[in-house]
Chains A and B, each alone.
Chain A
């Protein structure tokens, strides 16, 4: 059966469910969790160089346009990541986020691009999540430098990616990279996680 509406996620052929690596002596609640982020709307919003609009005045879904590294504006459904001066990445599970963005930013001043299907997303969760990132990324992830609700662009084993620090109680990071690098990125992350054992969810 073919259906043009069926959309395969970026890691459809890579992400495996189950326990892997050195998980045998670890209780399931303590096991590192790795899952694919699917069905998220991702929009890049960039102010045109010629525009005189102040991004401080922009509100998207009542959230501020992040003004500087490494800020994230967020609510329960939407996170707005600073990715550059006057550039942000809106990541949302809200199905109406597109209309909210269109209502908030003027197309004469901002380029808004739907990149939902051009990114692969991975969420890693557990006390060793930060160790996995440290294995492949030169980013300074120590607590004094990179905190909850911070984000950064960096590289992981040479692959450019965006990291969003979602929670520090049960350390949770959302990672995004270009879709075409998704498979390599996923395997880099899971290879690094084998040492600690992980559950693919």
Chain B
């Protein structure tokens, strides 16, 4: 392999090597501190390894992988997300009396899976990354084996995820049958002359498989159960990293094949988007269980994001649409991670099913956590001066420019409805309730670092979006 390919794929190589080292360390002697330290180091080094490749531009690293601006940016986001999750699980595992070695290992494996997905330009590498992520996540979800709910969540996710992978694979097989190619770019070239029945059926199957992972309606039913059953830091990772990686793949797919051009496929995707925005928000309305509420809200957010992707696939405002999609992705990731981080630290000891009442007066009892949660909720609701507002602003601009009125209507409806349940939570955060629950409120310093980073991130993106916006327009 040439040196450019080596430098391009350096983060993946570093992470892979780190995984092997951690495995050996666990086998030699179990020590939670060392394992976590190694993992932290590995993630930081992987992020550092991104820098030599910035100057390289677009690199075709084997027919399976490509390294370009998009992959570097998303890799950075994914590694940061994994870092935050790791920082949060720091003491959480000890509170739960769980072995931390395998957890850390699985988290690293899952991250590697997401990185592979982001760099994929061929069906094989895509599936490889997808499954690497998936299998690691199954175990992560079911990690606390004492809880029946975790196992239930893990099994549900496993069955449904495998089913959707099956659909995805079948779809890819049909595409292969129609075009004879599996690399995204090759497929794009051949797609126009291929047999339409096969390709449309194939696209539907692929979309179904991907829609499952993105929890779009009607493939969303696993989301609340799995989010509730999984340990909270894992839910945070699941809600963000897997979706981020998948969106990156979709962007690459659309860029290569322009598949959204086909009007019927566009209609199908638009229907998924509208259904997700409407049903996701409606389901979240009276939800008291916080993890379920965040699950439903993430369904809605994926619906919003899909608007940008639909418009990217099918119209002339392509550049702005891609930027809007990535912007929204960033805003969503930071806000959701922040919300789950706050939940992890609030739930802390034994409460893995936090309800709204547990948050009562959090802003007064534990100001930093309360503030983090409040800012995260405001960002999810799209209030100005937060990252979420910029994301929504981009989405509205893109839909107006592309004249996608139904999508815009669903966006407005969804946002309006969502304000209700977000504000209800904020109100609970602020209300002074002396009969508050007995949650463990110690915040370990490493988690504190993660919290501070997230808070700064949300506000920076909202107040000073210029730098990131410029970066995006350069890359995309």
Answer yes or no: do A and B interact.
Answer: no
Q: Which residues of A contact B (CB under 8 A)?
A: none
Residues of B at the A interface (CB closer than 8 Å) are: none
